[in-house]
Amino acid sequence: GGQFYGFRNEQAASYAAGAVGYMTGRPGACLAVSGPGMVHGIAGLANAWANAWPMILLGGANDSYQNGSGAFQETPQIEAARPFSKYAARPDSVRRLPFYVEQAVRSSIYGKPGAVYLDLPGDIITGTCDEDEVDWKNRCPDAPRTTTPQENIDAALAALKSAERPLVIVGKGAAYARAEDEVRAFVEKTQLPYLASPMGKGVIPDDHPLSVAPARSYALQNTDLIFLMGARLNWIMHFGLPPRFNENVRVIQLDINAEEIGTNVPTEVALVGDAKAITKQLNDALDKNPWQYPAETTWRTGIQNKAEENLANVASRYKDDSEPMGYYRVLGQIRDMLPRDAIISSEGASTMDIGRTVLPNFYARHRLDAATYGTMGVGLGQAIAAAVVNPDKKVVCVEGDSAFGFSGM
């Protein structure tokens, strides 16, 4: 069986389960009592749903024969979970429990990852059956790594070659797919400038010379073609629309979910499938026909000049010794104490936003924050999950005081 970790609150436990799913590629499980406990667990279910992380919420429930009788903590739990679940079900017998568990795991990791819910009535939890009656299932294998037709690979590379101001945007989908080696190789083969999303940080080390992070706004506003590698044009990326983006920006989109293609901005080339497998296809094509974005361009010069300007503006803030201490001084001192492979769990408003620029990440899946759902209260649960998954690494939770209050008070 799995290792059990007890939490005082189902919300924190459910956030931890989602983070385990993101970091391992296998669903973390959160066990909650019926009624209010299960409802608290929906917070993490929704967070995992929004972030496309695999997790399983297991909710206790009243005995089946008591449904509709006003049983203790009786709640329409499947109905409550369904909007945030790829799969929500109540096992109909003890002997078929393995069937439902296998279905839940499969649903959480196959296709677009996500959250699932299993409702466990008291009579199922305490029920018994003969072992030879059990509908045993094998462990669900990892999801297959799907590729894309070669014609799409060729079209993507042709589009990149035709662009004057190309920009690669690396998202947490690439991190989840464990595509860090392939993505870094692609960027270095092509010498394309890249920008990481907040939780795409570390897929390529933040100190890589091709990163445009110090000139983020300039790069987004002026690029004429973006290559989304496991990133979505949602609110974090300003929907890909003006004034943050060029109104005529072209899009190459790599995503596990076909339904995500063309969201908010039309996609010129769609690469639907696994980020690791498809990026390898791109690298294989480049090995056969090498190509690099030119070293001397006005695009590179513009990015470099803006980055130098922004870094100079920020440098004085790190040295500001006025009281009370400012964000840059505090976070800068934390940064100087962190090992290179530290895992950072961060949440808050300015604490998280400024921390994204001050606290670097050098390895994939080493940053956890409010992410796509913008959830406050995730920090401590996610930090505990990171420590469980990575017992030999330093995990640092950096939270604003208000964000800490959501889970710590």
What is the dihedral angle through the alpha carbons of 239, 242, 243, 249, rounded to the nearest 10 degrees? 100
Beta bridge partner(s), residue 226: 167, 251
Beta bridge partner(s), residue 32: 59
Q: Choose one of 277, 303, 329: the last residue of a domain.
A: 303
Same domain? For 204 and 234 the reply is: yes
Same domain? For 24 and 122 the reply is: yes
Q: Which two tokens stand for residue 271?
A: 């690469």
Q: What is the tally of structural domains in the chain? A: 3
132: amino acid identity, one letter: D
- State the number of CA atoms in the 13 A half-sphere of 289 facing the CB: 8
pLDDT, residue 409, reads 74
First to last CA, the chain: 32
In tens, the pLDDT along 77-119 reads 999 999 999 999 999 999 999 999 999 999 999 999 999 999 9
Give the 3-state secondary structure percentages of the chain, helix then strand then coil, rounded to 5: 45, 15, 40
In tens, the pLDDT along 187-231 reads 999 999 999 999 999 999 999 999 999 999 999 999 999 999 999
287 located within any domain: yes
408: amino acid identity, one letter: G
Q: Choose one of 100, 133, 166: the last residue of a domain.
A: 133
Same domain? For 295 and 327 the reply is: no
Beta bridge partner(s), residue 345: 368, 397
Task: Answer yes or no: are the C-beta atoms of 373 and 345 closer than 8 Å.
Answer: no
357 located within any domain: yes
The answer for residues whose C-beta is within 8 angstroms of residue 298's C-beta and 6 or more apart is none
Same domain? For 174 and 271 the reply is: yes
Task: Answer yes or no: are the C-beta atoms of 189 and 282 closer than 8 Å.
Answer: no
Check whether 1 has a pLDDT greater than 80. Answer: no
Alpha carbon of residue 224 to chain centroid: 26
In tens, the pLDDT along 159-192 reads 999 999 999 999 999 999 999 999 999 999 999 9
Domain of 241, CATH number, reads 3.40.50.1220
Beta bridge partner(s), residue 395: 343
Q: Give the span between the Cα atoms of 253 and 363, in whole angstroms.
A: 23
Query: How large is the average pLDDT for residues 135-151?
Result: 97
298: amino acid identity, one letter: T
25 located within any domain: yes
pLDDT, residue 408, reads 78
Same domain? For 87 and 226 the reply is: no
Task: Answer yes or no: are the C-beta atoms of 58 and 33 closer than 8 Å.
Answer: no
Same domain? For 112 and 219 the reply is: no
Q: Give the span between the Cα atoms of 211 and 192, in whole angstroms.
A: 9
Same domain? For 270 and 166 the reply is: yes
In tens, the pLDDT along 308-338 reads 999 999 988 998 889 999 999 999 999 999 9
pTM here is: 0.95
92 located within any domain: yes
Same domain? For 163 and 96 the reply is: no
- Residue 133 buriedness (CB in 10 A; 0-12 / 13-18 / 19+): exposed
Q: Give the span between the Cα atoms of 297 and 302, in whole angstroms.
A: 9
The range of the structural domain enclosing residue 188 comes to 150-303
In tens, the pLDDT along 259-308 reads 999 999 999 999 999 999 999 999 999 999 999 999 999 999 999 999 99
* DSSP symbol at 28: E
145 located within any domain: no
Tell me the pLDDT band of 2, cut-offs 50, 70 and 90: confident
The rounded mean pLDDT for the chain is 97
Q: Give the span between the Cα atoms of 5 and 30, in whole angstroms.
A: 10
Angle between helices 401-408 and 379-389 (to 10 degrees): 70
Angle at 125 between CA 122 and CA 131, to 5 degrees: 145
Same domain? For 384 and 279 the reply is: no
Q: Give the span between the Cα atoms of 100 and 87, in whole angstroms.
A: 10
Same domain? For 128 and 169 the reply is: no
Check whether 147 has a pLDDT greater than 90. Answer: yes
Same domain? For 121 and 157 the reply is: no
Domain of 18, CATH number, reads 3.40.50.970
Angle between helices 350-358 and 327-337 (to 10 degrees): 50
Task: Answer yes or no: are the C-beta atoms of 51 and 18 closer than 8 Å.
Answer: yes
Number of other CB atoms surrounding residue 326 within 10 Å: 16
Task: Answer yes or no: are the C-beta atoms of 300 and 166 closer than 8 Å.
Answer: no
Q: Choose one of 133, 166, 189: the last residue of a domain.
A: 133
324 upstream amide cis, omega within 30 of 0: yes
Find, among 74, 92, 83, the residue nearest to 38 by Cα. Answer: 74
375 located within any domain: yes
Task: Answer yes or no: are the C-beta atoms of 55 and 27 closer than 8 Å.
Answer: yes
355 located within any domain: yes
2 located within any domain: no
Same domain? For 206 and 114 the reply is: no
